[in-house]
């Protein structure tokens, strides 16, 4: 039945293939029937999105992904569409060959791909070149066709996975289709939601092909963050006071970098921490007091001054604007020795990469790919090549909850759990956004959420606030623009 698999579950390509095999071999659903269902779901989505379309161009590979495209073409022909298909290679046999023959029998026009081929004009292009099994860079004629597809100016509907996108990691394998929409069959593939996934997929739609629940015996590899997280913050009772909601100490702001720690502290207030203090260089204190009198700004020039602040806090957030000099090193050492729930960001992570140390229990780390690479001793490019592997390795190595920031932010737990954020926008690629996230997560820790829940909800609130603030104009988005929608979202209200 539709909806028999929770739509928040993400799978590797291998696990989706295992679900396919179970449906065919155990449940007795013929492979061609699954292909027919996929074609029907994709054609329904095509008509929903482009109701005026009447001419289709299919790009079909030799495997089952091409078979899905051919059968979509059969349905389109039955509905009176003008349909052409470009075949890249001969059908591999079996169901793919049956689908191709059915397309020709239905009156579809079939063209063989040749070098420097010009694409016939159409209202919508359908990408059925490669499915989830692609494991090498796209080259040759297929790469030429993908380039032509992307340059055509026509919308593209991708079947299952945009051709050229790694279904597991979300990275481009050389040339990759940039689709307006992608219909993912059977279950979500985890690569659709991180790295290059958003740029390649467009709108993502799940078609579970009416498989029963027992077809999904294969365990999901990750989960999508969703609106159910909002229930982690219950309504506040009337008989409450600021002491009920924790005391965050935000630590950072070396010379010339006071703005970073101010953003962290203000985000903690807007997300509901009862009290927020700031430990920073003395020169930053007047500006902090003027900008936000609700903050308790303290000069922490000496270790003694800093240690007195540590005792009063329930949650620590260190790193934004900290610097990597002697001052930052001393504050980080004292912070780690305090053993309190902790959020580590920015230069705190860089210092940790230079001199690894055991972290306190209830620690959350929030690196971007560059910081993650330094912690792992690899490049940011290597981190991006497999974000899931990098996040899991860091969470395990440091026995901490790990937030790997970027397109499709990942939250990883030491036990291997991973959650993926489906929200966020390119306007958030600007200074101060990470500082804000540190404060959001610290405030949720202060309100007694576990590190796993605080990290997941914090990432979700931050990204959704970014989307609300950006609207249709992400360019020029500032971190402070997120504070108002962040407050509304933290109260369970529409942003």
> At residue 3, does pLDDT exceed 50?
no
Q: What is the pLDDT of residue 304?
A: 85
36-92 pLDDT, tens digit each: 999 999 999 999 999 999 999 999 999 999 999 999 999 999 999 999 999 998 877
339-376 pLDDT, tens digit each: 999 999 999 999 999 999 999 999 999 999 999 999 99
Tell me the CATH number of domain 227-490, given options 3.40.50.300, 3.40.640.10, 3.40.50.410, 3.40.1190.20. Answer: 3.40.1190.20
The three-class DSSP label of residue 138 is strand
**C-alpha atoms less than 13 angstroms from C-alpha of 431 in its C-beta half-sphere:** 7
Q: What is the pLDDT of residue 387?
A: 98
Q: What is the pLDDT of residue 4?
A: 40
**Sequence-distant contacts of 14-19: CB under 8 A, at least 24 apart:** 15/187, 15/218, 15/219, 15/220, 15/221, 16/132, 16/186, 16/187, 16/189, 16/218, 17/132, 17/133, 18/217, 18/218, 19/186, 19/187, 19/211, 19/215, 19/216, 19/217, 19/218
235-288 pLDDT, tens digit each: 999 999 999 999 999 999 999 999 999 999 999 999 999 999 999 999 999 999
> At residue 6, does pLDDT exceed 60?
no
Tokens (6 digits) for 223: 């989960």
Domain boundaries, the chain: 9-223, 227-490
The three-class DSSP label of residue 139 is coil
Q: What is the pLDDT of residue 1?
A: 28
CA distance 355 to 360: 15
Instruction: Over range 447-454, report the average pLDDT.
Output: 98
Q: What is the pLDDT of residue 93?
A: 84
DSSP state of 233: S
Q: What is the pLDDT of residue 199?
A: 94
The three-class DSSP label of residue 159 is strand
User: What is the average pLDDT value for the chain, to the nearest integer?
Assistant: 95
142-161 pLDDT, tens digit each: 999 999 999 999 999 999 99
What is the band of 2 on the pLDDT scale with cuts at 50, 70, 90? very low
> At residue 493, does pLDDT exceed 90?
no
Q: What is the pLDDT of residue 438?
A: 98
| Radius of gyration for the alpha carbons in the chain, expressed in angstroms and rounded | 26
What is the band of 456 on the pLDDT scale with cuts at 50, 70, 90? very high
Residue 318 · residue 335 · CB < 8 Å: yes
Residue 376 · residue 358 · CB < 8 Å: no
464-488 pLDDT, tens digit each: 999 999 999 999 999 999 999 999 9
Tell me the CATH number of domain 9-223, given options 3.40.640.10, 3.40.50.9100, 3.40.50.10260, 3.10.20.600. Answer: 3.40.50.10260
Percent of the chain with pLDDT strictly greater than 90: 92
> At residue 233, does pLDDT exceed 60?
yes
> At residue 219, does pLDDT exceed 90?
no
The three-class DSSP label of residue 317 is strand
Burial 403-431 (b: 16+ CB within 10 A, else e): bbbbbbbbbbbbeebbbbbbbbbebbebe
CA distance 413 to 434: 20
Domains 9-223 and 227-490 share a fold: no
Q: What is the pLDDT of residue 218?
A: 67
Tokens (6 digits) for 220: 């999901």
What is the band of 5 on the pLDDT scale with cuts at 50, 70, 90? very low
Residue 100 · residue 60 · CB < 8 Å: yes
CB atoms within 10 A of CB 281: 20
Instruction: Over range 213-225, report the average pLDDT.
Output: 84
CB atoms within 10 A of CB 332: 24
């Amino acid at each position: 039945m539709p909806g028999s698999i929770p739509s928040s579950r993400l799978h590797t390509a291998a696990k989706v293939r295992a679900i396919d095999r179970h449906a065919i071999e155990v449940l007795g659903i013929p492979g061609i029937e699954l292909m027919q269902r996929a074609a029907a779901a994709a054609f329904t989505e095509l008509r929903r999105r482009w109701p005026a379309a009447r001419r289709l161009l299919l790009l079909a590979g030799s495997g089952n992904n091409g078979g899905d495209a051919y059968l979509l073409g059969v349905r389109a022909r039955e509905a009176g569409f003008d349909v052409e298909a470009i075949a890249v290679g001969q059908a591999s046999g079996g169901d793919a060959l049956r689908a191709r023959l059915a397309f020709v029998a239905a009156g579809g026009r079939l063209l063989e791909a040749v070098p420097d081929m010009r694409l016939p004009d159409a209202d919508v292009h359908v990408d059925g070149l490669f499915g989830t099994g692609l494991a090498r860079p796209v080259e040759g004629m297929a790469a030429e066709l993908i380039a032509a597809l992307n340059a055509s100016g026509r919308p593209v509907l991708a079947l299952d996975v945009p051709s050229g996108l790694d279904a597991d990691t979300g990275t481009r394998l050389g040339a990759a289709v940039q689709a307006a929409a992608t219909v993912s069959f059977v279950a979500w593939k985890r690569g659709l939601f991180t790295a290059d996934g958003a740029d390649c997929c467009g709108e993502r739609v799940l078609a579970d092909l009416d498989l029963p629940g027992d077809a999904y015996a294969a365990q999901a590899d990750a989960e999508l963050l969703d609106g159910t997280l909002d229930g982690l913050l219950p309504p506040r009772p009337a008989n409450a006071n600021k002491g009920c909601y924790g005391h965050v100490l935000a630590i950072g702001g070396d010379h010339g970098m006071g703005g970073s720690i101010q953003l962290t502290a203000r985000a903690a207030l807007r997300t509901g921490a009862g009290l927020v203090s700031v430990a920073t260089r003395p020169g930053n204190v007047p500006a902090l007091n003027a900008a936000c009198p609700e903050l308790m700004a303290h000069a922490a020039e000496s270790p003694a001054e800093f240690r007195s602040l540590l005792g009063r806090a329930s949650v620590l957030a260190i790193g934004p604007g900290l610097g990597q000099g002697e001052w930052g090193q001393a504050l980080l050492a004292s912070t780690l020795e305090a053993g309190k729930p902790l959020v580590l960001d920015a230069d705190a992570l860089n210092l940790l990469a230079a001199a690894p140390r055991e972290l306190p229990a209830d620690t959350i780390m929030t690196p971007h790919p560059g910081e993650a690479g330094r912690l792992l001793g690899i490049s940011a490019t290597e981190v991006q090549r497999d974000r899931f592997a990098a996040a899991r390795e860091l969470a395990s190595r440091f026995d901490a909850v790990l937030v790997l920031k970027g397109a499709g932010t990942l939250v990883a737990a030491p036990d291997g759990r991973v959650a993926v954020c489906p929200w966020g926008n390119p306007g958030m690629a600007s200074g101060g956004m990470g500082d804000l996230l540190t404060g959001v997560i610290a405030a949720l820790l202060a309100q007694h959420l576990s590190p796993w829940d605080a990290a997941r909800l914090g990432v979700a609130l931050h990204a959704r606030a970014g989307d609300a603030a950006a609207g249709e104009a992400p360019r020029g988005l500032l971190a402070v623009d997120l504070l108002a929608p962040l407050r509304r979202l933290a109260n369970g209200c529409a942003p």
